[in-house]
Amino acid sequence: MMADAPQYHYESEDKSGKPKNLKQAIKLTNENAAEMMEYLNKLNATQ
C-alpha cells in the first residue's frame, strides 16, 4: 500500500540527509505533511 507513497529527499550540504537549517526543515515537513494527507485522502476515495 505504501509503495507508491511520496518519497522524501532532503536537500542538504552534508550527506547525512539533514536539512540545511531549521526553516527549511519546517518548510519541507509542512510540504511532506500536505502531500501525505493528499495521498491518504486519495486512498480513502478509491475504497
> How does DSSP classify residue 6?
P
Q: Which residues contact 35 (CB under 8 A, 6 or more apart)?
A: 6
The answer, as to whether pTM is greater than 0.95, is no
Three-state DSSP at 20 gives: coil
Phi/psi for 7 (5° steps) reads: -100, 140
In the chain, the amino acid numbered 32 is N
The CA distance from 25 to 19, in Å, is 5
pLDDT digits (tens, 9 = 90+) for 1-47: 456 656 555 554 555 556 677 887 788 788 888 998 999 899 888 76
Question: What are the residue ranges spanned by the domains of the chain?
Answer: 19-47
